[in-house]
Amino acid sequence: YVGKRRGKGTFVAYGQDAAGGYDDATLPALLAEALSAEPAASGLDVHYQPVVRISDGRREAVEALARWNHPVIGPVPTPVFVAVAEATGLIGRLDDFVLDRACHDLAGYLAAHGGDVSVHVNISASRLGQPDVELAADDCLSRHALAPRHLVLEVTESAPIADPEAAVRSAKRLRSKGIRLALDDFGAGYSTLALLRRLPLDIVKLDRSLTDLPDATPGGLSPEALCRAMLWIADEMGVMVVAEGVETAEQVAALTRMGCRYAQGYRYGRPEPFASLFSAEAASSGEGALSGEAGL
Ligand code: C2E
Ligand code: MG
Ligand code: MG
Ligand code: MG
């Protein structure tokens, strides 16, 4: 297992949080079944979390995050079923389900309201370098008549990439089509600095462990120092930086001080269904625009 699963204990902790009584052994079969069923019956769903510009809270994008509320066993935490999908080879189908829903939802929104909002979709790093991910992205964009600049693919280096050369070629092809690429969870993965040098990127997302400044362990290199260094490197590379897991005003102040311009986290909004994200915004702004600025 790869991804957010960091040992057996992780599953126990998630199990205690979850309302339902799922059991590890049955998840692969249930997930395979869900991916073949109609979404309405499978309990598979997509929630969205805003990515904002810190200076004025403008919504630059929304990140699509897979959700699974199984009709019988109840909600399964995302890191749990994503790890199952990675381990069982179902990840491509899960990613494609989310990609399709995300393009559908955003295309519908843009058709009605216009604007420059984009959608971030997570893809397994194991797929970068395989032609199917490019085909899936192309197909999805054309079916929903969505311009490539509205799509950002997020890749987490949760395990060493099997064929880095192929991954780099794949990244170049995606970007030449106008699809943007983000390196997710930077600072939490494997050989991320090496990858950063080779992968052509548009966005780097700083992992929560780097932006969780107040809880820094004393001694050694502080998260703030790492964060500062990363912002400097990103600037040199000309990539946009998004701080993940921003929850407090203190974090916002520290990030602003360091020159970080974009953030995502509970402070700016939790993941929620597309429709409620939209209605909350409509209620607060009176305009119903996903983007914080009118007429963009
Ligand atoms: P991620 O891509 O880094 O997504 C951010 C995760 O952090 C989400 O967890 C989100 O709910 C959580 N989060 C956001 N803001 C905060 C905050 O302020 N504080 C805290 N404590 N957490 C915050 P989620 O939805 O459980 O997803 C976990 C991971 O699962 C994602 O991490 C991503 O790596 C993976 N994932 C989710 N959906 C997909 C998918 O469709 N395909 C693939 N391949 N992976 C996915
Ligand atoms: Mg992500
Ligand atoms: Mg992330
Ligand atoms: Mg993360």
Exposure class string for 220-242: b at 16+ Cβ within 10 A, else e:
eeebbebbbebbebbeeeebbbb
Q: What is the DSSP letter of 218?
A: S
CA distance 207 to 205: 6
What pLDDT band is residue 240 in, cutting at 50, 70 and 90?
very high
Query: What is the helix, strand, coil percentage profile of the chain, to 5?
Result: 50, 20, 35
- Residues 102-113 have a mean pLDDT of 96
- Residues 58-80 have a mean pLDDT of 96
Q: Which amino acids bring their CB within 6 angstroms of ligand 1?
A: 4, 49, 65-66, 78-79, 82, 91, 94-95, 98, 122-124, 154, 156, 184-185, 244-247, 265-266, 271
CA distance 65 to 254: 27
| Strand 59-70 relative to strand 74-76, pairing | antiparallel
φ, ψ dihedrals at 87, nearest 5°: -75, -25
Residue 291 has pLDDT above 70, yes or no: no
Q: Is 115 in contact with 291 (CB distance < 8 Å)?
A: yes
| Residue 204 CA, ligand 3 centroid: distance in Å | 9
Q: Which ligand is nearest to the CA of 48?
A: 1
| Residue 122 CA, ligand 4 centroid: distance in Å | 11
Per DSSP, the residues of 5-33 read: --SHHHHHHHHHH-SS---GGGHHHHHHH
**Least-confidence region, from 41-55, 169-183, 203-217:** 203-217
The answer to whether the complex's ipTM is over 0.95 is: yes
Dihedral angle of Cα 91, 95, 98, 99, to the nearest 10 degrees: -170
Q: What's this model's pTM, rounded to 2 decimal places?
A: 0.89
pLDDT at site 159? 74
Q: Which ligand is nearest to the CA of 188?
A: 4
At residue 200, the 3 state secondary structure works out as coil
CA distance 279 to 281: 5
| Strand 74-76 relative to strand 118-124, pairing | unpaired
User: 245-257, pLDDT tens digit by residue?
Assistant: 999 999 999 999 9
Dihedral angle of Cα 72, 78, 81, 86, to the nearest 10 degrees: 160
What pLDDT band is residue 212 in, cutting at 50, 70 and 90?
confident
CA distance 184 to 130: 19
Q: Is 207 in contact with 187 (CB distance < 8 Å)?
A: yes
At residue 170, the 3 state secondary structure works out as helix
Identify which of 122, 126, 242 to mutate to test ligand 1's pocket (most ligand atoms within 8 A of the CB): 122
The overall average pLDDT reported for the chain is 85
